[in-house]
Amino acid sequence: MIRIVLIDDHTVVRTGLRMILQQQADMEVIGEAEDGEQGLALIKRLVPDIALVDVHMPRFSGVELTERVRRAKLSTRVVILTVAGEAPFPRRLLDAGASAYLTKGCPAEELVKAVRRVADGQRYLGADIAQQLALDGGHDGSPFATLSARELEVAMMLAQGLTAQIIARRLKLSAKTVATYKYRLFEKLAIDNVVALAHLASVHGLIAHAAPPAR
């Protein structure tokens, strides 16, 4: 039996995933969490075979959760799920220790196949993710590679047009902390405004197009 936990801040997503997975005779959903911090605690307590993890979550992101699972040398394998069109930094997540990377719009059959392969010790990439990796030649020469997991997440949200106040609420951080991340990532990327950030993110394929600046 493949033991699975679901880590996503959207209840409806977790419900849909549970319905798909519980129909499989060889799979069991043993727990759920709605943010990265709860998710890591759940993984440590239950030690599931597979964790299905969202990229953008409160407290800390799927990137950071994946890195922490690896650093803790936990046996749980991480399957990353992200919204179609928001497939950021797949190589960063794979390097962090993710075993699979899929978009949430993938067919149920593909999700089930990915879970079984990962449980068997293999890696799995959705077709669109594999194409993205092929196009970058297997290398991440992006300046975004210099950012920490949290800086990268804040950068993505800013580039998509979210204000610092909204980001603080979504990630359950103080406005001051978000401002610090913003200052650091601007310094690392050698930019000084959100418009430049959105353009840079678009050029390097992290977002489909540059969002209008937040007001």
CATH of the domain at 101: 3.40.50.2300
Q: Look at residue 82 and give its three-state secondary structure.
A: strand
Q: Residue 8 is which amino acid?
A: D
CATH of the domain at 169: 1.10.10.10
What's the pLDDT at 101? 87
Does residue 94 share a domain with residue 25? yes
Does residue 88 share a domain with residue 163? no
Q: Residue 172 is which amino acid?
A: K
Weakly modelled stretches of the chain, pLDDT under 50: 85, 87, 135, 137-139, 209-211, 213, 215
Domain endpoint, select from 76, 105, 135: 135
Output the pTM of the full model: 0.69
Query: Residue 197 and residue 210: Cα distance in Å, rounded?
Result: 9
Residue 213 lies in a domain: no
Q: How many other CB atoms are there within 10 angstroms of residue 151's CB atom?
A: 19
Average pLDDT score, the chain: 84
Does residue 109 share a domain with residue 47? yes
Query: Residue 66 and residue 3: Cα distance in Å, rounded?
Result: 18
What does residue 188 show for φ and ψ, rounded to 5 degrees? -65, -35
What's the pLDDT at 18? 96
Residue 209 lies in a domain: no
Domain endpoint, select from 102, 135, 168: 135
Sign of CA dihedral 116, 117, 122, 123: negative
Query: Residue 199 and residue 207: Cα distance in Å, rounded?
Result: 9
Where is 21: in which H helix or E strand? helix 11-22
Q: How many domains does the chain divide into?
A: 2
What's the pLDDT at 67? 84
What's the pLDDT at 135? 46
Does residue 66 share a domain with residue 155? no
What's the pLDDT at 129? 66
Domain that holds residue 186: 143-203
pLDDT tens digits for 81-118? 887 545 456 666 777 788 988 888 889 999 999 999 99
Q: Which of 200, 199, 210, 207 is nearest to 85 (CA)?
A: 207
Residue 7 lies in a domain: yes
Domain endpoint, select from 135, 170, 193: 135
Does residue 148 share a domain with residue 130? no
